[in-house]
Amino acid sequence: NHKKFFSPQDWNLTWHTENPDFTQCFQNTVLVCIPCIYLWVCFPVYFLYLRCHDRGYIQMSNLNKAKTALGLILWIVCWADLFYSFWERKNIFRPPFFLVMPTVLGITMLLATFLIQYERIKGVQSSGVMTIFWLISLSCATVVFRSKIKHALNTGAEVDAFRYVTFCIYFILLLVQLILCCLPERPPLFSETVNDPNPCPESSASFLSRITFWWITGLMVQGYRRPLEAKDLWSLNKEDKSEEIVPGLARNWAKEWAKTKRGSKAQVTQPLLRGVCHLLSKPAFVRPKWQLCICPSVLLINFVNNKAAPNWQGYFYTGLLFFCACLQTLILHQYFHICFVTGMRLKTAIVGVIYRKALVITNSARKTSTVGEIVNLMSVDAQRFMDLATYINMIWSAPLQVILALYLLWQNLGPSVLAGVAVMILLVPINAVMAMKTKTYQVAQMKSKDNRIKLMNEILNGIKVLKLYAWELAFREKVLEIRQKELKVLKKSAYLAAMATFTWVCAPFLVALSTFAVYVTIDKNNILDAQKAFVSLALFNILRFPLNMLPVVISSIVEASVSLKRLRVFLSHEELDPDSIIRGPVTEASKAELCALYFSINFTVPEGSLVAVVGQVGCGKSSLLSALLGEMEKKEGYVVVKGSVAYVPQQAWVQNATLEDNILFGREKNESRYKRVIEACALLPDIEILPTGDKTEIGEKGVNLSGGQKQRVSLARAVYCNADVYLCDDPLSAVDAHVGKHIFEKVIGPKGILKNKTRVLVTHAINYLPQMDTILVMSDGEISEMGSYQELLKQDGAFAEFLRTYANAEQSMENSGKFTNKFSWNKLMCTERQMSSNRQLSNSSTYSRDAGKSQHRSSTAELQKPLAEKNSWKLTEADTAKTGRVKATVYWDYMKAIGLFISFLSIFLFMCNHIASLTSNYWLSLWTDDPVINGTQQYTNVRLGVYGALGISQGIAVFGYSMVVSIGGIFASRHLHLNLLHSVLRSPMSFFERTPSGNLVNRFSKEIDTIDSTIPPIIKMFMGSTFNVIGACIIILLATPIAAVIIPPLGLVYLFVQRFYVATSRQLKRLESVSRSPVYSHFNETLLGVSVIRAFEEQKRFIKQNDMKVDENQKAYYPSIVANRWLAVRLEYVGNCIVLFAALFAVIARNKLSAGLVGLSVSYSLQITAYLNWLVRMSSELETNIVAVERVKEYAEMEKEAEWSIEQTAPASTWPEEGKIEFRGYGLRYREDLDLVLKNINVTINGGEKIGIVGRTGAGKSSLTLGLFRINEAAEGEIIIDGINIAKIGLHDLRFKITIIPQDPILFSGSLRMNLDPFDQHSDEDVWRSLELAHLKTFVSSLPDKLNHECAEGGENLSVGQRQLVCLARALLRKSKILVLDEATAAVDLETDKLIQSTIKSQFEECTVLTIAHRLNTIMDYTRVLVLDRGEVVECGSPDHLLQEKGIFYSMAKDSGLV
């Protein structure tokens, strides 16, 4: 029988018997060939792969020696057989395969041995190819082994002793090889992992460990024992790091962009795909594994029907079913893992490219996309691509699955399948239409969201002004208006989603119903038996997945394409032309040519000279400097700057880092130079005040420094970097007169540190002008005069006129630097914003309680202060990660936010839906068991009718709960957002100083977005999968009650795994969201300081920092992906066990069971794995996402400031009548545990008095105004205005009645009119009058939109001086009895200053005016002057009187040259 391969009697031997076996011939040929064919097919591909991926060389180890030796022995054993056959041929004739097979096998073993060595040389630590090879060989050998033993036990059979022995040796060696192959090798030499403190175990894990994700178990155990921290996370694999990924995309994009300059449209798609293409190709071949489980289940149902079949076939089918299910699990999750990693890399690439682009984009282009939009690009749009990566392969695999399933259905039911197909085809366009609609809504929603975030960003940046003006309500209304639009769109998409869910859930049912109906009505003889019904149902369930996924995939692609478009627009923005200025090297030429173009300007500055640029507000002084930096667009001409440039911007830009880092700005620290710079910039006294000296961390935008300190830090940064050309934009505006003088002498002036450098100084301070080499006078963007001080005076032009007006007090230029030392500087307190202690740090290392350990704090170790104290001086609170389980109260809060009635209604509808679904399937199983009489079934119509009715009721319930949940979700998100907004606006000022704006913006964008659009669908799916699992268990119990024994223990295992996982997963998710904040904060910061970064040419360092922060974030994200896969594999194994037992019990009890029930039970148990997986995914998703509710609630429960208005104590509407202010024993402190900043102040200010408040920096001048506005509540004493104690009335009642012109003029984006009068209380005439008085009328009239002129974010399209005038106009419009001027004239040139002062004198004649003055000449004609020192009033009286007393006031006047 060797000639014929499989003859009928072979089948008898193999199949139709109680004790099956293969024929000899089959064993010796096919079973030997399978492993050989496998290895030879894999070899060429694998060999090439190894050639390309060299990971380094692995040293010989005992493990490797053992593997090689065993391989060689195997070869010898095989060839021993061969030689034995040759020797045997003399006596007995054997068929040729006795020679061929050992030869082939021997050569294969040699190849395997070669591969073992080759893998070692190429650095493979554990090989999948080899493991599978040994596994296949062993399983084939096992079959042969069994039959040999069976043969030998048969008495009387002849035994071929030699071959038996060699085979046993062969079998044992294979077993040992397989075991050895599961052990990983040591890491290759020179690999990164060696010097990595916490390498990722993945690379060194064995194949089995990798395919089951066993290697992450260590982290899981750790996370279960205690909450994970940032230091427990592994480093990223090299191929996932930013520096590996981003350049690839950047290169490809640059190529694309170069093409566009030639005229075609740039496509991001290609470079993106090219950059990530090699990643996407991997998972493609892993996809089609769906149908693995179908065939065994069909066979199983047949087996139960066929009473004659031998028992072992049932067990064989059960085993086969289990094996297929397990294989499917492993392959599917490998696929998902690859997809997610790809998504992660995509995100890294996109964020990196956006950041790099943001550094080179022109200012005009930056105006077109606001900070909010760019941050959204980084967060939301990058996320879209991550989601897409998971779905992208569905595009081809879904249709494939559909076709396969349909083919099998046709086999089963014949042409009536077409009815089902018709229903499906009908549903596709419906789904498509919905997807399109969803897209339009999505775009609308994104737009509102961008606007809302932009507005929130501004509100948070200008919160102090809002509080001082009591404008919170107006802005709250603006935000809510945008939010209302957003919710409208959300509501529409919710209705759509409900429709979609309805079609989604009902589709498979309608398909089944139509198919069965057609099948049984066409022909009386068509019988619906168990095999047909349940196999069809199983196939319909398979169909359901790709059909449901297609719309999701399509919408995901659509979303990604929207994002792609946004990304393309951003990446295609104009870039700064690096050649617009020529930065020549410093050569022997003694002139640094500077010839700048701004309305055609020509001038040259000799090297080493000091040039002043003066002129009115808005005449283009700052623009001139921008042109020199190459920030403006050059129309014609050329600009040459010799050597490196340092730049001091008008509004100081301070990073969120230590003071020292801010000054060094990435340069090496040179102790002596550093000390000199600090001393020259008058920073020493400030550093003494700061809690940890120059290691003190400075909050975002420098919140804990005063304006003057920020300016000085900014100057120190420039001085330290030792450039050749210095461009200073009014660095002396924000500092006191004597400090300004000190800085001018020590830094900028002819004797300063920079005396040999080229300096261009924009200034308003005329007393320094005589010392300048050249003065440029600008007006309306042109240079009107130019020359030295003397020359310009001789010319007697505009400049001389300008000087005469101001220089009436002769400038006494004698050196008054001696003065500074008389004051014990070191005792001064920095009041502007008292540094707070025990606040947390805003840095990428959240858990920086162990500050010494985290790398970027290594410098702190130098401080000799004890650790505890060191940590107490962190300023900003990090976005802290909560630990532990999410409390049940959070869910309860959410349910309350939805409304309890709606919550319970939705649960009830869920129940109805699932009961209907179970009943309909049970009804089907009863129907299939109807007896067949004369080839037909009775009662077909009744059965069909009831089946249809149940299905329809199911559909109605689905639609109901979908609607209810979606609408409930919208109620909840409206309610939560309102609370959050209200409570943030009600928070006291101290809260905003402590909390980085990044955190707050994160709450308003990410968290609210989660509540809006993520939580409701997750709740739907969570409820759905819960009921599905319960339903499936019920059915299995109905069919085989004995399963009751096995389900509870499996349930326990399941729960254990799930709890184990959620602990880790939740913490990883939190770590990930915490490490996300610094990415955005850093990005925001970069955008604000981009001109400084460019001027100092520090782009590389910032890019590197950004990469580090992104990698920190991905470090937490990567384990969370793997943890998901780990869980899924474990859970599916639990599910597969349920399948195994359901099938096993069905086989055991097959005589008692009807085929219908077995079918029902098996088809449900097959689905249970998917449901279980889904359930855990959803429960952990729910838990991780409900954290958003928790975080929003957390801010809603913060401390609040006092009530805004109190009915009972509200003062009369005309209050204050005269504006008399009394301070009675007033004291103020910034926080409970700090000293008083103001102490026992007793002053009475009569109505209509003009009071000047002076004092050195940090004497408590600003604190006085903060107390007056109750930004900080009194610590002792009280302030009484017109007989009413201000502490007793509502904040708005108070703040509406006092007007302030604040130190830093902040405008909000919106019309100019809105900025002046957000509540629309005044008529247009009033507004115009106030503008006229503020000297802005001509400017505003010249604008195209007049009052509706749109101000940019932060008012960036007006100059600083103009903004200051707008603030003055606000004050004029409010016209209250009490006016506070906080340094209002710092940024304004002297003429404008004079105008402002005269306006204030004339307009606020009968009002009380308090002025905090740096320039003493403004207050020389005030009624009284208060001199503050260290929080106490030291002198008080009229200016003349104080000058005669020769006290502090006199010395200050002398400093500023008024005496």
**Helix or strand or coil: residue 667?**
coil
pLDDT one-digit tens code per residue, 53-72 = 777 778 888 888 888 898 89
How far apart, in whole angstroms, are the C-alpha atoms of residue 509 and residue 517?
12
Contact 1219, 1405 (CB under 8 A): no
Q: How confident is the model at residue 677 (pLDDT cuts 50, 70, 90)?
A: confident
Cα 1084 to Cα 352, 376, 495, 655, 1359: the distances in Å are 14, 12, 37, 10, 22
Mean residue pLDDT across the chain: 77
Percent of the chain at pLDDT > 90 equals: 0
Distance of CA 257 to CAs 263, 269, 563, Å?
A: 10, 12, 18
State the pLDDT at residue 847.
Answer: 28
Q: Which two tokens stand for residue 185?
A: 């090798």
Q: Looking at 123-127, 805-809, 1039-1043, 1155-1159, which range is the least confident one? A: 805-809
Conformational region of residue 814, where left means phi above 0, alpha means psi within -120 to 50, and beta covers everything else:
beta
Instruction: Report the distance separating Cα 527 and Cα 388, nearest Å.
Output: 45
1295-1310: pLDDT as tens digits: 888 888 877 777 887 8
- For residue 462, give the DSSP letter: T
Per-residue pLDDT tens over the stretch 1211-1254: 777 777 888 888 888 888 877 777 788 888 888 888 888 888 88
- Residue 689: which of 569, 568, 804, 824 has the closest Cα? 824
| CA angle in degrees (0–180, nearest 5) for 932-937-941 | 165
pLDDT of residue 598: 42
Q: Are strands 1221-1228 and 1238-1245 parallel, antiparallel or unpaired?
A: antiparallel
pLDDT given for residue 261 in this prediction: 65
Q: Is residue 38 within 8 Å of residue 133, measured between CB atoms?
A: yes
Query: Which position has the token pair 């009650």?
Result: 1041
User: What's the mean pLDDT in 794-810?
Assistant: 66
1303 sits in which H/E element: none
764, 730 contact by CB (below 8 A): yes
Kindly write down the DSSP assignment for every residue of 1306-1351, as one continuous string. Answer: ---SEEHHHHH-TT--S-HHHHHHHHHHTT-HHHHHHSTTGGGPEE
- Residue 817 pLDDT grade (very low, low, confident, very high; cuts 50, 70, 90): very low
Backbone φ and ψ of 1114, nearest 5° = -65, -25
Q: How confident is the model at residue 1352 (pLDDT cuts 50, 70, 90)?
A: confident
In angstroms, how far is CA 406 from the centroid of its own chain? 42
Higher pLDDT, 439 or 853: 439
**Phi and psi dihedrals of 1375, rounded to 5?**
50, 60
pLDDT digits 0-9 by tens, 759-786: 888 887 777 888 888 888 887 777 788 8
Distances (CA, A) of 1207 to 988, 1288, 1292: 21, 11, 12
Give the C-alpha separation, 853 to 867, whole Å: 12
Please report the pLDDT score of residue 1425 as a whole number.
Answer: 87
For 685-698, the pLDDT digits (tens) are 888 777 777 787 77
pLDDT at 294: 61
AA identity, residue 501: T
With 70 as the cut, is the pLDDT of residue 840 above it?
A: no
For residue range 727-736, what is the model confidence (pLDDT) as tens digits?
888 887 777 7
At 1009, list the tokens. 């977005």
8 A C-beta contact, residue 266 and residue 571: yes
The pLDDT of residue 959 is 85
The DSSP code for 238 is G
Buried b (16+ CB within 10 A) or exposed e, 820-848: beeeebeebbbbbbbbbeebbbbbbbbbb
**Residues whose CB falls within 8 Å of the CB of residue 232, separated by 6 or more in sequence, listed in order:** 198, 219, 222, 223
Q: Which of 592-606, 748-762, 924-938 has the highest mean pLDDT?
A: 748-762
Beta partners for 1205? none
- Model confidence pLDDT, tens digit, residues 516-570: 888 888 877 777 777 777 777 777 777 777 776 776 777 778 778 888 888 888 8
pLDDT at 762: 85
Tell me what the mean pLDDT of segment 1378-1391 comes to.
69
Q: Distance between CA atoms of 1237 and 1257, rounded to whole angstroms? A: 13
Angle between helices 940-986 and 472-522 (to 10 degrees): 170
Q: Of 881 and 792, which is predicted with more confidence?
A: 792
State whether residue 1246 is helix, strand or coil.
coil
Place of tokens 């609370």: 979
Give the model's pLDDT for residue 1384: 54
**pLDDT at residue 1398, rounded to an integer:** 80
Which positions ≥6 away from 427 have C-beta within 8 Å? 503, 507, 510, 547
**Alpha carbons 373 and 378: distance in angstroms, whole number:** 9
Q: What percent of the chain has pLDDT over 70?
A: 85
Residue 340, token pair as written in the block: 């997610």
Q: Where is average pLDDT lowest: 17-26, 618-627, 1046-1055, 1344-1353?
A: 17-26
pLDDT tens digits for 822-835?
Answer: 332 332 323 233 33
